[in-house]
Structure 1
Amino acid sequence: MASFSKAEMKKVFNCFDEDGDGKISAEELKNKMRSIGEELSIEDVSDAVGGVPLGLEEFIELVSVNGDHQDIDDEKELREAFSLFEMEGQGCITVKSLKRMLSKVGTSRDLDECCAMISRFDLDGDGILSFEEFRVMML
């Protein structure tokens, strides 16, 4: 079983830490969850973080299972799934590659719809999905 490395967790943490202060506030967590389609009240988010901003170690604990990093049963399968959507050899999922794959599986979407789908999970706002963002989406 593969687990997230601390470097990978730090990348995700940095996406949540909007103001770059090294802590994730309840408001930052709420904003990021909203960006991926999860509408939570500030009270729910505050309860999840214990009412105090999260540092990297606390963030890792929050997203961990049984005190260990979230495991993915088969890293190879996740990478294979990513490569199906990636299709352009760029190491990321673009709006065009998502549209192509959805068309192949009989779920056609226009470019605007594909852009909206990507933006829900695009943690760093660059308009594409990296493998790390894809992994977070699959959790």
Structure 2
Amino acid sequence: MQELGARQYRKAPAIHPVNIAAILSQKMSNQIDDEQITMLRRAFSMFDSSKQGRIEKEKVRTILNTMVHSYDDSELDQILDNEDDGSGKLNFDSFVRVATHFLDEDDEALQKELKEAFRLYDKEGNGYIPTSSLREILAALDDQLTPDQLNEMIAEIDTDASGTVDFDEFMEMMTGD
């Protein structure tokens, strides 16, 4: 993050053509961050039509349908029942606990998918992707990229200038984190 005055700004991911994690809008961690809290607060407020700080359990399901890649209905029912005080509604704190559980699971699923994608690109199974292969992949994903842009992207991705991209560098490229 960069600080400008009293505000902090997160550097935007430079590699937007392949930033599939932005679609999921999640960080690869088990802690909820300020950005996620803001997103959850907005979603909660939109469904808190009575503005009493509580939403119906079914509305939580609706919110999760828009935010989470996939989840188990029976698991959601069990967690909702545990958080319900008997009113059939959840306050914001309960909502955050429910949503965070599924957001974390979604992060784990994303990491598993990215590991599989890395293995596909790591054809020789040696734990890295040559930057020459990555250049071809990036060029195929966006045929408008110039050679200079590709060089710049590769330099940013291959942070240790090894001529290869290991899994950590690949994760950083894909998630923008």
Tell me which interval the TM-score lies in, with the shorter structure as reference length.
Answer: 0.3 to 0.5
Q: TM-score, normalised by structure 1?
A: 0.40
Higher relative contact order (CA 8 A, sep 6+): 2
Structure 1 or 2: more strand by fraction: 2
Q: TM-score, normalised by structure 2?
A: 0.33
Rg bigger for which structure?
2
